[in-house]
Structure formats: C-alpha cells, structure tokens
Amino acid sequence: MSATASTFFNIGPAFGLAGPLASYEPFPRSTKVAMTLMMWVGRIEIIPVLVLLTPSYWRG
C-alpha cells in the first residue's frame, strides 16, 4: 500500500520493500508496470489523462 501511495501521489519514499534505503527491484514485473502507469497518471493528473483517452477528443 505504501509503494502504491508513493507512486501515485508522489509523497516520497514508501515503507518496507520500497523504503528510503531499498528499491522497487523486489516487486514482480507486472507490479512495476502497474506502478509506472500510476506514476504517469499521478504526475499528469487524472483529468488530462482521461481526456486524452476519450475517443471524442481525437475526433473533434
């Protein structure tokens, strides 16, 4: 949970496996991909991402 909060909300280091003296290396590849997507959405904000993924935005 803390790694997810750290990636999505940009709140700094997580606790446990992804703590300040550790890394995200022990997580499985699928989890790292999901956290990368959450970082992308969290940094850009959710509304612009949803607008970019809406088909009507690209048609009009």
pLDDT tens profile 9-44: 877 778 888 888 888 888 999 989 998 888 887 777
Give the pTM: 0.61
pLDDT at 50: 83
CB 2 within 8 A of CB 14: yes
Number of domains into which the chain is organized: 1
pLDDT at 33: 93
Model confidence at 45: pLDDT above 80: no
Structure tokens given for 36:
């990368």
Model confidence at 8: pLDDT above 90: no
- Residue 19 gets the label, from left (phi > 0), alpha (psi -120 to 50) or beta, of beta
Give me the long-range contacts of 6-11 (CB less than 8 A, separation at least 24).
7/35, 7/36, 7/38, 7/39, 7/42, 8/38, 8/39, 8/41, 8/42, 9/42, 10/39, 10/42, 10/43
Which residue range is the domain that position 42 belongs to?
A: 2-59
